[in-house]
């Protein structure tokens, strides 16, 4: 009886793994994330979330042969998820038909164990790829790998063993019954035929062509979006017109909000909702310093607001940046000892995002305070104060009111006094966009000639400028 129950459990594990693999295959072909329990926690709260199944299924490692760096998976390559679907389905059919063979035919158990051993090697390889190459984790994929290990354990326990001797045999009596050979040749033939039919269904049935047609349609849509993306990257006027058509919003600004500006004439006003542990936010800060401010001769008023993607202070579904709330508290505590101290903390934390874990303990906090030449005891108390926590919460509530759900979210003031959202890739990090805005600022808004240094930047060819590299690439998904 125990072998029967073990066989049922092994079949259930294989079928569940096959179902998840089919779900991954559908996600790979359609580009659409699943909903309900099959999502298995894969939906990401932000672009920087560590849990992102779609990022894994759309990577160059999701097809065989593997695509080259920068290439997109095409329909001519075989999806790894389809191989996983076939692998687990074959094992399920084998376990249903053959299960645990009799000892006389135990050699039939070797093909299943060999196939499972190859599957374990593949599982180890793809876990390594997720950890080192993709920088994202697919919980659905991890679930199939765990189920693969459980199948290995089940197959080991199902290895045919010699039946224990009975009391009669111990007394030297002749056994009256003999173990019947299992599976019979007919059952084995039917099992192999069923496996062949299942594979034929998976590779050539209506399911695959339907998904393939949908995939090709999505490929055409992606190509159209890429053309639009290239237009905005290369044509600053088109990017500015697109920004101009966006809906403006009113942002509640406090008199003591952290601001960095140059006085002397009307500045370009920017408001950024940011996260100190967010790599894209660090890139946006770099773009504002290296691209935007030089084009306006420093007359850029930047107002900083917090939106940490961290469950410690923000009700987000994924704890994408576990040290972001502590970093926000530290920046606000530094501000209370001088506005310039906020920006010193701001610059240090963006330049040292990998070291923000020091803010998790008192010793690290004191070390941080010494680095910024702050009063250690005062800083420690203010960082854990209700006042600092409340200010961060006010920024989070304002961000949610505006519909911010990822960082960075940069807004620029329009001529109506309202703020319009800038696209992180097409606008914030695009020199062509800012060159057009700067020409308008100097010649139309101020009606004056810019300084010579700015003139040289404005006269640069739009074709020679390129946005700051973005590790994620432009979001051109349909």
The residues that bridge with 409 in the sheet, in sequence order, are 273
What confidence tier does 103 reach under pLDDT thresholds 50, 70, 90?
Answer: confident
What confidence tier does 22 reach under pLDDT thresholds 50, 70, 90?
Answer: confident
The percentage of the chain sitting over the pLDDT mark of 90, rounded to a whole number, equals 54
Sign of the Cα pseudo-torsion (3, 4, 8, 11, in order)? positive
Low-confidence winner among 39-48, 89-98, 104-113 (lowest mean pLDDT): 39-48
Residues 410-453 pLDDT 10s: 999 998 999 999 998 889 999 999 999 999 999 999 999 999 99
Domain boundaries defined on the chain: 2-160+184-205, 230-464
Residues 154-213 pLDDT 10s: 999 988 876 655 544 554 544 444 567 888 888 889 998 988 888 887 776 545 555 666
Which CA distances in Å does 381 have to 70, 118, 348?
48, 57, 21
The residues that bridge with 421 in the sheet, in sequence order, are 411
The pLDDT value recorded for residue 324 is 96
Sign of the Cα pseudo-torsion (221, 222, 225, 231, in order)? negative
Distance CA 267, CA 452 (A): 18
The pLDDT value recorded for residue 464 is 43
The pLDDT value recorded for residue 459 is 83
The pLDDT value recorded for residue 17 is 93
What confidence tier does 102 reach under pLDDT thresholds 50, 70, 90?
Answer: confident
Question: Who has greater pLDDT, 2 or 473?
Answer: 2
The residues that bridge with 413 in the sheet, in sequence order, are 419
The pLDDT value recorded for residue 41 is 54
Phi-psi region of 78 (alpha: psi -120 to 50; beta: other; left: phi over 0): beta
Name 281's Cβ contacts closer than 8 Å, sequence gap at least 6.
272, 274, 275, 350, 407, 408
Q: Are 187 and 98 in contact (CB under 8 A)?
A: yes
What confidence tier does 28 reach under pLDDT thresholds 50, 70, 90?
Answer: confident
- At residue 302's C-alpha, the angle toward residues 301 and 308, to 5°, is 165
How many CA within 13 A on the CB side of residue 186?
0
Comparing CA positions, the residue from 246, 296, 288 lying closest to residue 271 is 288
What confidence tier does 69 reach under pLDDT thresholds 50, 70, 90?
Answer: low
Question: Who has greater pLDDT, 477 or 459?
Answer: 459
The pLDDT value recorded for residue 75 is 53
User: Does 73 have pLDDT greater than 80?
Assistant: no
Report, as an integer, the average pLDDT of 31-37: 57
The pLDDT value recorded for residue 312 is 94
Distance CA 321, CA 323 (A): 6
137 CB-contact burial (10 Å; exposed 0-12 / middle 13-18 / buried 19+): buried
The pLDDT value recorded for residue 49 is 55
What confidence tier does 474 reach under pLDDT thresholds 50, 70, 90?
Answer: very low
Four-way CATH pick for 2-160+184-205: 1.20.1440.130, 3.30.530.20, 3.40.50.2000, 1.20.140.10: 1.20.1440.130
Residues 309-325 pLDDT 10s: 999 999 998 899 999 99
| DSSP 8-state symbol, 277 | T
Distance CA 348, CA 328 (A): 13
The pLDDT value recorded for residue 214 is 65
Residues 106-144 pLDDT 10s: 899 999 999 999 999 999 999 999 888 887 788 889 999
The pLDDT value recorded for residue 455 is 92
Concatenated DSSP letters of 196-213 = HHHHHHHHHSSHHHHHHH
Q: Are 258 and 343 in contact (CB under 8 A)?
A: yes
How many CA within 13 A on the CB side of residue 45?
18
Q: Are 432 and 235 in contact (CB under 8 A)?
A: yes
Question: Who has greater pLDDT, 50 or 376?
Answer: 376
The pLDDT value recorded for residue 52 is 76
Give pairs for 220-223: CB < 8 Å, separation 24+.
221/478, 222/72, 222/476, 222/477, 222/478
- At residue 475's C-alpha, the angle toward residues 239 and 428, to 5°, is 45
Name 161's Cβ contacts closer than 8 Å, sequence gap at least 6.
103
Which CA distances in Å does 117 have to 90, 152, 359?
14, 8, 44
What does R_g of the chain's alpha carbons equal in angstroms?
Answer: 30
What confidence tier does 346 reach under pLDDT thresholds 50, 70, 90?
Answer: very high
CATH topology agreement for domains 2-160+184-205 and 230-464 = no
* CATH hierarchy code of domain 230-464: 3.40.30.10
């Amino acid at each position: 009886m125990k072998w029967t129950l073990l066989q049922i459990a092994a079949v259930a594990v294989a079928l569940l793994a096959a179902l998840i693999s089919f779900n991954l295959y559908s996600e790979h072909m359609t580009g659409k994330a699943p909903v309900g329990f099959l999502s298995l926690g894969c939906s990401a709260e932000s672009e920087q979330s560590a849990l992102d199944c779609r990022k894994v299924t759309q990577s160059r490692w999701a097809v065989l042969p593997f695509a080259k760096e920068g290439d997109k998976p095409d329909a001519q390559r075989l999806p790894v998820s389809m191989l996983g679907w076939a692998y687990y389905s074959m094992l399920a059919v084998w376990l249903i038909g053959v299960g645990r063979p009799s000892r006389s035919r135990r050699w039939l158990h070797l093909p299943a164990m060999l196939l499972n051993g190859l599957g374990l090697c593949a599982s180890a390889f793809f876990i390594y790829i997720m950890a080192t190459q993709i920088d994202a984790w697919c919980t659905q994929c991890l679930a199939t790998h765990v189920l693969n290990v459980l199948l290995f354990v089940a197959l080991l326990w199902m290895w045919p063993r010699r039946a224990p001797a009975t009391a009669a045999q111990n007394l030297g009596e002749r056994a009256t019954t003999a173990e019947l050979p299992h599976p019979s040749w007919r059952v084995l033939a039917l099992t192999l035929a069923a496996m062949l039919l299942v594979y034929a269904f998976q590779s050539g049935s209506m399911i695959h062509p339907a998904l393939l047609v949908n995939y090709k349609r999505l490929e055409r849509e992606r190509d159209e979006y890429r053309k639009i993306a290239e237009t905005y990257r290369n044509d600053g006027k088109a990017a500015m017109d697109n920004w101009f058509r966006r809906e403006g919003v009113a942002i509640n600004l406090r008199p003591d909000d952290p601001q960095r500006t140059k006085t002397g004439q009307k500045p370009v006003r920017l408001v950024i909702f940011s996260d100190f542990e967010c790599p894209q936010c660090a890139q946006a800060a770099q773009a504002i310093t290296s691209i935007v401010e030089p084009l306006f001769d420093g007359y850029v008023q930047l107002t900083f607001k917090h939106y940490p993607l961290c469950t410690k202070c923000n009700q987000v579904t994924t704890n994408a940046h576990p040290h972001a709330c502590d970093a926000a508290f530290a920046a606000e505590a530094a501000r209370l000892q001088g506005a310039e101290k906020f920006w010193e903390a701001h610059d240090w934390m963006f330049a040292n995002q990998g070291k923000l874990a020091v803010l998790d303990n008192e010793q690290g906090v004191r070390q941080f305070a010494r680095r910024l030449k702050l009063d250690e005891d005062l800083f420690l108390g203010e960082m854990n104060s209700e006042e600092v926590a409340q200010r961060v919460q006010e920024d989070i509530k304002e961000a949610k009111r505006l519909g911010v759900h990822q960082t960075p979210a940069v807004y620029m003031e329009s001529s109506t006094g309202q703020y319009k959202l800038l696209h992180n890739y097409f606008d914030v990090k695009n020199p062509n966009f800012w060159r057009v805005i700067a020409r308008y600022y100097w010649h139309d808004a101020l009606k004056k000639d810019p300084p010579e240094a700015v003139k040289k930047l404005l006269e640069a060819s739009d074709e020679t400028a390129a946005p700051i590299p973005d590790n994620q690439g432009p979001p051109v998904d349909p």
